[in-house]
Structure 1
Amino acid sequence: MDHVGVARSGRQPRPVRVAGLAQYLALTIALGGLQFVWSVETGFGTLYLLSLGMRKSLVSLVWLAGPLSGLITQPLVGALSDSCTSRLGRRRPYIIGSTICVVMCLFIIGWTRELVGDRPAMVVWLAVVAFYVLDFAINCIQASLRALIVDSLPASLQDAGTAWASRMIGIGNTVGYLMGFLDLARLLPFLGSSHMQVLTSIASLVLALTVAITCYYTPETPIARLPSHLRNGSSSGLRALAAIFASIRSLPTTVRDVCRVQLFSWIGWFPFLFYGTTYVANLYVADNSGDGTGGPDLMERGTRAGSLAMFAYALSSLGFSVILPYFAYSSTAHAASRQHRASIDTQSTFGRIMQIARKVRLAASASLATIWMVSLGVFAIAMLFTFAVSTARGATWLVAVCGFCWAVTIWVPFSIIGQVISSGATSAGQPARTENRDDGYIYVEATDIAMDDLSFNTHDGQPRELFENDEAAHHYPLDSSSISAGTVLGIHNIFIVLPQFITAFVSSLIFAYFEHANRSKPEKTGGEHAHEVALVLRLGGMSSAVAVYYAWKLRRRV
């Protein structure tokens, strides 16, 4: 994109500087750091709590922290940050404050025994409280970072922004699980004496660094300098929550459809994320229980085998998050793509090659909703395949396949919702304004634009739009009746966390039943532990099959 069109005011076209990858990296890198922290919690939290002496059924209830914090924190922070009047901007104060809280919780988790001493009950309680506060702080950061992406990018670049966010999340996942596989206590003894201490220390440093990069290099206009139609009145927490739940009915139809898919798909994802490592670790213990070793040493190797499986999953997710956006198309970014196509010189040899390459991509591409539907089907099949898998190696392959599904899950729904918000949909069933657009789907284009030219940044001290009457990429500001990014993303998150309550209670009941049934046995084998976890995974797979149906219905709408 070399220039914008003539502005409404009659001024001459103002050039837009084209930047490299650094601008998208600055906007999304903090999500990578946050995902690193979350991979530490989900990948190793269950085994860590079990090592403290907690029963598996109680550990399931501990993970209610995630849905509780998501149900309350994300929508509340989204709504409150929409009207934040800090001179740092609307999202930065919540990002910075929550980051400090996360670092403190990670320190407590890593050094729980050292802080409490030889009091087992207190050790468990302190760890549980730290995990609960950690979840609330993580959700606060996530809500603010997701809203920052929507704030910063026009509708035509929401696909690219969320695609880069998924790549950063993939990198955070990959590095997090790789760290879990390595013998960190031996490699980095100056960061702690145990594996968990070193892991939490690294997670704290990574999160602090990535958040600092995003906050420093991503411009955010304070609310006082935004146009009046973009300002939200201040409100209390209770009033904000009441407004959030009241506005669920007025969500755009497309957003409601996305929420319906998320409701069923996350019943499958929650058990996988929290018990995937444990599932593979128990199968490894069952595979190697006859080799003469046992006890803590065998379980330690099993934990590392589970970490290796999750690392394969994270690596697979990262690879697909890089590749898939080039083979997806969307109905909102087509204007920018049309201008790009028009700029190709078809008379030159290079131009003709580029045109052929684009046609090949078109033949191999699918819509965002179709890709999401396929990924949900693959995930459902993988979870149901636990019936046929009985070895750690086979389970590792199943877990790795789910990387494709995760890459889509953290990209497509946010991309669809970001397009709806940025293009100005205002009520249920009301489509985004589509002037200067023709019908049909086009590729998702990762157009690079300088970060200081994004969205409602300032020019000569005055707020302005990114594209001023540009035919190729017209960005419409939301009017006073439009939906706010923080509020909509908060509502969307409610439909992600509600199924987590369901799976937490169901898995707790399943584990409690097996604990009671096997009470007469001196000790359960690794295979029996794996069977219990696999049962929960299969129930999640059945729910994902239901999500496929609703994704198919969404596919007909977007």
Structure 2
Amino acid sequence: MDSLPRPTATSGLAQYLALTVALGGLQFVWSVETGFGSLYLLSLGMKKSHVSLVWLAGPLSGLVTQPLVGILSDNCTAKLGRRRPYIIGSTVAVVLCLIVIGWTRELTGSWPALTIWLAVIAFYAMDFAINCIQASMRALIVDSLPTSRQDAGTAWASRMIGAGNVAGYLMGFLDLVRLLPFLGSTHMQVLTSIASLLLVTTVAITCYFSPEIPLARSPAQSGVGGSSLRALGTIFTSIRSLPVAIKDVCRIQLFSWIGWFPFLFYGTTYVAHLYVATHTGAGSTDSSADLMERGTRAGSLAMFAYAASSLGFSVILPVFAYSSASRSALRQRRYRAGTLSTLGQLRQVLRKTQRAASISLSKMWMISLAVFSVAMLLTFVVSTVRGATWLIAACGFCWAVTIWVPFSIIGETISEFNSSERSMRDEGRGDGYFPVDSADIPMEELATGEQEGDDQPEYGFGGRNEDVPQRSSNTGGLSAGTILGIHNVFIVVPQFITALASSLIFAFFEHANDSKSENSDSQQAHEIALVLRLGGISSVVAAYYAWKLGH
């Protein structure tokens, strides 16, 4: 928690940028994979049902990599710090995989089967490395910021992720071969080249400007770092003893990501097939390849609209949301209100107006899940590219909340618990702590640098003797890497479900269409829309649990 200096009015923005900019570069890589990976594999000759199985790489890597990296980095004693060795090593692996993906045909020559296998292996390896970077980056943010700054840190992380999405989908829409021919001779080659350069640059900024204090090795750590299987066993036995707030978040994530994965992996393909279906017919002189190329760009434009919407909402929404971790700061500010100048009093009035329009994080999460489910179910009535683009763009609001609110709640829980334990230990009051009632404050005020008492504990997440998983060896508190690794399990399990379900659905339609002369693009768009609707139904369940979280 002390690895970075405490933010101030002048240094806070620079610190948030340094901590989170690498997530923007990583998201650019992820947008390239999710937005164009399916179409790229289809262009190599893979069946759609087999492509959906390729995306099992994500849950397989996330199920193992993030929890394992979390607990191993919690106990890493390298001179670079706990998180940075994993970030740097995984970045090198991602860049190598991107090079292989971009130049797969050139590496294999005239061996189609070998080309497909090499691309699949590269995607699998890259997913493992991406999950390693993501786990380490999220833990670094929690490590580096005090409790009342966790909201601002995760808000800035969501903005960087939104910027990475916008850049990724914009690059996919542009004619990159004509604009940047020196980076490659195909669209995918230029994309992977840009992704590699951007990832290396942003990771270098984060690692250089976000130093960590090396962790001193203690006797208790010697067994944890040495056995990966023992580390994984510790993680999964700890799931039962998670703090209540984190358990609730995990349950919501389980259902919400059943809806998100089909959207992320098939959104571009859905719009592309709609485009071809609506532009094929009498009077059309374009070849199917030309139509699909323009359809792919139409899909990229729709996803770009979604990414731009997400970025805009990630800037606006924190102004109108409040969280418990900032309540004591507001109480202190109200206490000083009588001594403020006229300008200060005016600012207080503006803040009160802002608070009146604010809603809780849990309620905002519930609303976003409801909006997402409605958007996915509206694919029943949408049959045009313009309509599908509007639906996808509306999901930008939902994505901005999804990549911000859960991590904010988890970061607050970890930081607050550790602050409470540290405070109790310093005061010699044992291992118990007591709730502190306080008022609400909008999250965006955390970034102004005016708060005091950043480490003031507010309330506990559970009883005084509640068992908690995997405490940090040095502080005795909750370990960020371990908790975030457990949380990620509930994100990646839905991808197993959606990958298998979509593969079965696509295989069923492929078998049913074998007896037909053709499998039209409108039919293929309908197949993808069916998978999206199933995700929308699951999001309804997630919205219900988010509503319960708020109560």
User: Secondary structure, in 3 states, of the residue corresponding to 1:442?
Assistant: coil
In structure 2, distance between residues paired with 1:421 and 1:230: 20
Is 1:336–1:473's contact at 8 Å kept on the other side of the alignment?
Answer: no
User: Secondary structure, in 3 states, of the residue corresponding to 1:390?
Assistant: coil
In structure 2, distance between residues paired with 1:39 and 1:131: 13
Q: What is the match of residue 288 of structure 1?
A: 279
In structure 2, distance between residues paired with 1:223 and 1:499: 35
In structure 2, distance between residues paired with 1:86 and 1:284: 52
Residue identity matched to 2:27 = Q
Residue identity matched to 1:444 = M
Pairing 1:442–2:424 present: no
Pairing 1:352–2:345 present: yes
Q: How big is each residue's C-alpha offset from its partner over 1:128-178, in whole Å with a ceiling of 9 and x where there is no partner? A: 000000000000000000000000011111000000000000000000000
In structure 1, distance between residues paired with 2:222 and 2:337: 40
In structure 1, distance between residues paired with 2:206 and 2:235: 27
In structure 2, distance between residues paired with 1:515 and 1:251: 44
Q: How big is each residue's C-alpha offset from its partner over 1:414-453, in whole Å with a ceiling of 9 and x where there is no partner? A: 00000010111799xxxx9877943332221454599xxx
Residue identity matched to 1:237 = S
In structure 2, distance between residues paired with 1:480 and 1:254: 21
Is 2:330–2:440's contact at 8 Å kept on the other side of the alignment?
Answer: no
In structure 2, distance between residues paired with 1:441 and 1:30: 31
Is 2:436–2:457's contact at 8 Å kept on the other side of the alignment?
Answer: no
User: Secondary structure, in 3 states, of the residue corresponding to 2:477?
Assistant: coil
The partner residue of 2:497 within 486, 494, 502 is 502
Seq. identity, %? 69
After the TM superposition, which residues 355-394 of structure 1 pair with which residues of structure 2 at under 5 Å, given as runs? 355-394=348-387
Q: What is the match of residue 261 of structure 1?
A: 252
Q: What is the match of residue 119 of structure 2?
A: 127
Q: What is the match of residue 4 of structure 1?
A: none
Q: 1:397 to 1:15 in 2, by over 3 A?
A: closer
1:310 CA displacement:
0.1
Q: What is the match of residue 40 of structure 1?
A: 32
Is 1:284–1:305's contact at 8 Å kept on the other side of the alignment?
Answer: yes
CA RMSD of aligned residues (A): 2.5
In structure 2, distance between residues paired with 1:475 and 1:207: 36
1:403 CA displacement:
0.2
In structure 2, distance between residues paired with 1:271 and 1:17: 41
The partner residue of 1:527 within 508, 522, 529 is 522
In structure 2, distance between residues paired with 1:364 and 1:376: 20
Q: 1:248 to 1:422 in 2, by over 3 A?
A: same
Q: What is the match of residue 191 of structure 2?
A: 199
Q: What is the match of residue 543 of structure 1?
A: 538
After the TM superposition, which residues 97-246 of structure 1 pair with which residues of structure 2 at under 5 Å, given as runs? 97-224=89-216, 234-246=225-237
In structure 1, distance between residues paired with 2:264 and 2:221: 38
In structure 2, distance between residues paired with 1:309 and 1:32: 20
TM-score (norm. length: structure 1): 0.89
In structure 2, distance between residues paired with 1:148 and 1:187: 37
Q: What is the match of residue 415 of structure 1?
A: 408
In structure 2, distance between residues paired with 1:81 and 1:488: 12
Is 1:185–1:195's contact at 8 Å kept on the other side of the alignment?
Answer: yes
Q: How big is each residue's C-alpha offset from its partner over 1:184-212, in whole Å with a ceiling of 9 and x where there is no partner? A: 00000000000000000000000000000
* Greater displacement, 476-485 / 512-521: 476-485
User: Secondary structure, in 3 states, of the residue corresponding to 2:322?
Assistant: strand
Is 2:25–2:164's contact at 8 Å kept on the other side of the alignment?
Answer: yes
In structure 2, distance between residues paired with 1:382 and 1:185: 34
Residue identity matched to 1:416 = I
Question: How many pairs does the alignment contain?
Answer: 520
User: Secondary structure, in 3 states, of the residue corresponding to 1:101?
Assistant: helix
TM-score (norm. length: structure 2): 0.90
1:233 CA displacement:
5.2
Q: What is the match of residue 485 of structure 2?
A: 490
1:357 CA displacement:
1.1
In structure 2, distance between residues paired with 1:352 and 1:480: 40
Pairing 1:552–2:528 present: no
Q: What is the match of residue 307 of structure 2?
A: 314
In structure 1, distance between residues paired with 2:294 and 2:336: 57
The gaps in structure 1 that reach 5 residues or longer are 1-13, 451-466
Q: How big is each residue's C-alpha offset from its partner over 1:101-154, in whole Å with a ceiling of 9 and x where there is no partner? A: 000000000000000001100000000000000000000000000000000011
User: Secondary structure, in 3 states, of the residue corresponding to 2:246?
Assistant: helix
Q: How big is each residue's C-alpha offset from its partner over 1:466-517, in whole Å with a ceiling of 9 and x where there is no partner? A: x9xx646437997765321000000000000001101100000000000000
The partner residue of 1:328 within 316, 321, 333 is 321
Residue identity matched to 2:164 = G
In structure 2, distance between residues paired with 1:196 and 1:205: 14
Is 1:337–1:443's contact at 8 Å kept on the other side of the alignment?
Answer: no
Q: 1:436 to 1:336 in 2, by over 3 A?
A: farther
User: Secondary structure, in 3 states, of the residue corresponding to 1:224?
Assistant: coil
Q: What is the match of residue 395 of structure 1?
A: 388
In structure 2, distance between residues paired with 1:78 and 1:204: 24
User: Secondary structure, in 3 states, of the residue corresponding to 1:518?
Assistant: helix
The partner residue of 2:456 within 438, 455, 474 is 474
1:520 CA displacement:
2.2
Q: What is the match of residue 3 of structure 2?
A: none
* Greater displacement, 259-268 / 478-487: 478-487
Q: 1:517 to 1:421 in 2, by over 3 A?
A: same
Q: What is the match of residue 54 of structure 1?
A: 46
User: Secondary structure, in 3 states, of the residue corresponding to 1:522?
Assistant: coil
In structure 1, distance between residues paired with 2:332 and 2:221: 29
Residue identity matched to 1:279 = Y
Is 1:156–1:475's contact at 8 Å kept on the other side of the alignment?
Answer: no
In structure 1, distance between residues paired with 2:309 and 2:370: 17
Residue identity matched to 2:65 = T
Q: How big is each residue's C-alpha offset from its partner over 1:374-411, in whole Å with a ceiling of 9 and x where there is no partner? A: 00000000000000100011000000000000000000
Residue identity matched to 2:135 = A
More helix by share: 2
In structure 2, distance between residues paired with 1:336 and 1:108: 51
Q: What is the match of residue 7 of structure 1?
A: none
Residue identity matched to 1:534 = A
